[in-house]
């Protein structure tokens, strides 16, 4: 969505089908980290990274942002006991569960991460592939 990659067409479809995006409060940090990694690895020019960072800020302003860190932390800790997730992925899924008020059935979670997607499906989310 912010930096053209092979998964961009899929992300564009997701956004066009679901105008009401919800994100975890630390998602922008993860995305910024990805931009900076691409710059270090010379996969993204500095100027384009700065444009993408501005677009990220604009995008986040249009989203519902889950900000209850203690509640998400509790959920993520539980998720780590049951799913083979990395910490940040557990926080993402915890935020999604908090947003869904503990009832993810019929709600969609978009991710390109297979492990996170599998855990989200086991928790009850719909995960388009």
| pLDDT (tens place) for every residue of the chain, 129 residues total | 688 878 778 877 877 787 788 999 999 999 999 999 999 999 999 999 999 999 999 989 989 999 999 999 999 999 999 999 999 999 999 999 999 999 999 999 999 899 999 999 999 999 998
What pLDDT, on a 0 to 100 scale, did the predictor assign at position 77?
A: 98
Matching residue, tokens 């908090």: 98
> Could you tell me if 72 and 98 are in contact, meaning their C-beta atoms sit under 8 angstroms apart?
yes
What pLDDT, on a 0 to 100 scale, did the predictor assign at position 9?
A: 80
Structure tokens at 73: 């932390």
Structure tokens at 9: 């067409």
**For residues 82 and 54, what is the distance between their CA atoms, to the nearest angstrom?**
37
**For residues 40 and 38, what is the distance between their CA atoms, to the nearest angstrom?**
5
Structure tokens at 25: 């409060």
């Amino acid at each position: 969505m912010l930096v053209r990659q092979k998964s961009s067409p899929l992300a564009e479809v997701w956004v066009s089908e679901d105008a009401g995006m919800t994100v975890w409060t630390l998602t922008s940090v993860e995305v910024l980290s990805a931009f900076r990694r691409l710059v270090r690895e010379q996969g993204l020019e500095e100027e384009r990274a700065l444009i993408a960072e501005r677009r990220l800020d604009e995008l986040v302003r249009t989203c519902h942002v889950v900000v209850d860190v203690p509640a998400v932390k509790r959920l993520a800790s539980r998720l780590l006991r049951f799913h083979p997730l990395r910490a940040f992925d557990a926080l993402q899924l915890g935020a999604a569960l908090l947003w869904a008020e503990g009832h993810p059935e019929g709600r969609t979670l978009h991710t390109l991460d297979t492990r996170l997607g599998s855990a989200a499906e086991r928790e009850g989310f719909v995960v388009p592939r």
